[in-house]
């Protein structure tokens, strides 16, 4: 239950995000001839045109007409045209959009916003939040441009759809995709996942934040670009936009539309590039999914109970148990990379590996304590065997010479063995015999090899059984 609680509440989301970042650096880059072209409104364009941001809507109208003259497949503007501007400029842009949309689909941007207000309820001041939408001023199709930020302010996921007042709103990239593929908006059904029936995509499973992982390429700036000033001046190459999806977006340092991503650690990526990456992912049906919490929970229990089975059923030495735990760790790591590279699945593997490490440590401590207790019992039984009143030989806690001869125990090994059966630890034996602890361990390992024992407990038990079998009790 504790594990399920942690997974469901994203308590270790930061670690899973890091795993995601590492895995995507191993992703094989697929070369595709995508139809996306970006018109970048950058600082160079402002300098060449001798303009300041924001540009007039008449300039947008002229640039859109230039693009439309080359018959693109679709035009999308990653700008929010929400408020009225200069009447003449608004009319020019409205006319351009109306004319272009006769033959070419156009997609504009909208966004969701959250408004807060404070009210007194039952003598307490409560902050109320209300979600609203900002739709474009001009008549055209539109999609929302909101992007989810992770706790480290990186963009790893994208929304594809949002439900607001029982209506489905498509994201900016998905709306572009819908118009480009000539799909009907009613084909998009939003239940526990976004489902496109009888369409290009099939079914897309979203996470509980209603988002999907973005399949970035290693090169953060991967799309064909042309600066805005060339388009405005009509200086673009012939048929440059023909049959292309043309995206217009800001690349301006003064515009707050730059974000960190897993592939742009030091340099922020413009929002239009992120939207283009999501659009490319949709066009190629190249999706990455996080494995469900149920599968991760099963993985967690396997990581816990497999070592338990090996420890208590097989009853092997601690070294064997540790090697099994390390093997499990290596297996899960291999599983992560295999699932990511081949099946495009991302395991939430941090908690299973953490639990494996913690339970391994706890079981090692328990096994050490258990071995010490069992050793004490065996030593006590050995003492009782040697001190039996009917036994022929002396009642000292000594190892029979026949045992030493049978297993070819050397004189120094005999000294170490005598201290083992008295329950002495390695350091104590080293201090008594004036040798190093590494030498003590070396002698103990040789004794284990010669007597075919795996622990001190087993060694003392063998000595006790040897004495009982070799020296029968005197008959009264």
Tokens describing residue 49: 């045109």
Mean pLDDT value of segment 414-425: 88
**Calpha distance 145→174 (Å, rounded):** 10
**Calpha distance 447→410 (Å, rounded):** 9
Report the pLDDT value the prediction gives residue 257, as an integer from 0 to 100: 86
The domain tally of the chain equals 2
Residue 375 — very low, low, confident or very high, per pLDDT cuts 50/70/90?
A: confident
CATH number for the domain spanning 435: value is 1.10.10.10
Regarding whether 277 and 396 lie in a shared domain, the answer is no
Task: Report pLDDT digits (tens) over 327-350.
Answer: 777 777 787 788 777 877 777 666
Report the pLDDT value the prediction gives residue 202, as an integer from 0 to 100: 66
Asked whether residue 321 is domain-assigned, the answer is: no
- The rounded mean pLDDT for the chain is 80
**Calpha distance 365→19 (Å, rounded):** 30
* pLDDT: which is higher, 65 or 378: 65
Say whether pLDDT at 302 is over 50.
yes
Asked whether residue 305 is domain-assigned, the answer is: no
* pLDDT: which is higher, 60 or 26: 60
**Poorest-pLDDT segment among 57-61, 179-183, 185-189:** 185-189
**Poorest-pLDDT segment among 197-211, 226-240, 439-453:** 197-211
pTM: 0.71
Say whether pLDDT at 240 is over 70.
yes
Asked whether residue 290 is domain-assigned, the answer is: no
Regarding whether 413 and 267 lie in a shared domain, the answer is no
For the ranges 52-56, 181-185, 401-405, the maximum mean pLDDT occurs at 52-56
Say whether pLDDT at 128 is over 50.
no
Last residue of a domain, one of 235, 266, 285: 285
Sequence-separated contacts (24+) of 189-197 with Cβ below 8 Å: 190/161, 190/163, 194/160, 194/161
* pLDDT: which is higher, 220 or 57: 57
Regarding whether 158 and 44 lie in a shared domain, the answer is yes
**Poorest-pLDDT segment among 138-142, 239-243, 301-305:** 301-305
Asked whether residue 415 is domain-assigned, the answer is: yes
Q: Count of CB atoms within 10 A of residue 433's CB?
A: 16
Quote the domain boundaries for residue 177.
31-285
Identify the H or E element spanning 249.
strand 245-251
Task: Report pLDDT digits (tens) over 73-99.
Answer: 999 999 999 889 899 999 999 999 999
Task: Report pLDDT digits (tens) over 54-77.
Answer: 999 999 999 999 999 999 999 999
Report the pLDDT value the prediction gives residue 374, as an integer from 0 to 100: 82
Say whether pLDDT at 4 is over 70.
no
Regarding whether 90 and 221 lie in a shared domain, the answer is yes
Say whether pLDDT at 122 is over 60.
no
Report the pLDDT value the prediction gives residue 472, as an integer from 0 to 100: 46
Contact partners, residue 148, CB within 8 Å, separation at least 6: 155, 157, 158, 159, 209, 211
Residue 3 — very low, low, confident or very high, per pLDDT cuts 50/70/90?
A: low
């Amino acid at each position: 239950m504790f594990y399920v609680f942690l997974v469901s509440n994203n308590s270790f989301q930061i670690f899973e995000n890091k795993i995601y970042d590492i895995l995507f650096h191993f992703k094989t880059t697929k070369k595709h001839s995508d139809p996306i072209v970006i018109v970048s409104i950058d600082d160079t364009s402002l300098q060449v045109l001798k303009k300041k941001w924001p540009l007039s809507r008449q300039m947008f109208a002229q640039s859109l007409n230039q693009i439309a003259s080359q018959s693109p497949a679709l035009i999308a503007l990653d700008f929010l045209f929400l408020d009225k501007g200069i009447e003449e400029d608004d009319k020019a842009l409205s006319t351009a959009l109306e004319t272009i949309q006769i033959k070419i689909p156009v997609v504009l941007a909208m966004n969701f916003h959250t408004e807060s207000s404070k009210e007194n309820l039952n003598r307490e001041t409560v902050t109320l939040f209300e979600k609203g939408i900002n739709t474009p001023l001009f008549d055209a199709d539109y999609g929302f441009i909101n992007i989810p930020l992770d706790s480290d302010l990186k963009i790893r996921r994208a929304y594809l759809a949002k439900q607001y007042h029982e209506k489905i709103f498509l994201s900016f990239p998905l709306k572009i995709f819908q118009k480009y593929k000539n799909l009907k908006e009613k084909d998009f059904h939003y239940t526990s996942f976004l489902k496109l029936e009888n369409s290009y995509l099939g079914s897309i499973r979203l996470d509980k934040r209603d988002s999907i992982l973005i399949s970035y390429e290693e090169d953060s700036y991967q799309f064909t670009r042309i600066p805005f000033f060339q388009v405005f001046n009509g200086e673009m190459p012939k048929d440059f936009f023909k049959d292309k999806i043309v995206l217009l977006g800001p690349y301006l340092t003064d515009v707050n539309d730059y974000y960190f991503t897993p592939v742009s650690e030091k340099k922020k990526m413009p929002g239009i590039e992120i939207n283009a990456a999501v659009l490319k992912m949709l066009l190629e049906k190249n999706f990455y999914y996080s494995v469900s919490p149920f599968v991760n929970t099963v993985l967690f229990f396997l990581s816990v109970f497999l070592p338990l089975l090996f420890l208590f059923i097989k009853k092997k030495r601690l070294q064997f148990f540790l090697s099994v735990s390390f093997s499990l760790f290596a297996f899960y790591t291999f599983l992560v990379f295999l699932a990511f590279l081949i099946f495009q699945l991302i395991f939430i593997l941090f908690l299973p590996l953490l639990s494996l490490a913690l339970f391994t440590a706890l079981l090692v401590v328990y096994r050490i304590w258990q071995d010490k207790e069992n050793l004490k019992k065996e030593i006590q039984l050995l003492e009782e065997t040697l001190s039996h009143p009917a036994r022929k030989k002396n009642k000292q806690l000594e190892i029979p010479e026949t045992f030493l001869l049978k297993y070819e125990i050397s004189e120094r090994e005999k000294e170490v063995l005598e201290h083992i059966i008295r329950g002495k630890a390695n350091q104590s034996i080293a201090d008594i015999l004036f040798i190093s602890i590494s030498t003590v361990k070396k002698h103990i390992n040789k004794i284990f090899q010669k007597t075919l024992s795996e622990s001190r407990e087993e060694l003392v038990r063998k000595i006790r059984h040897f004495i009982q079998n070799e020296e029968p009790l005197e008959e009264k």
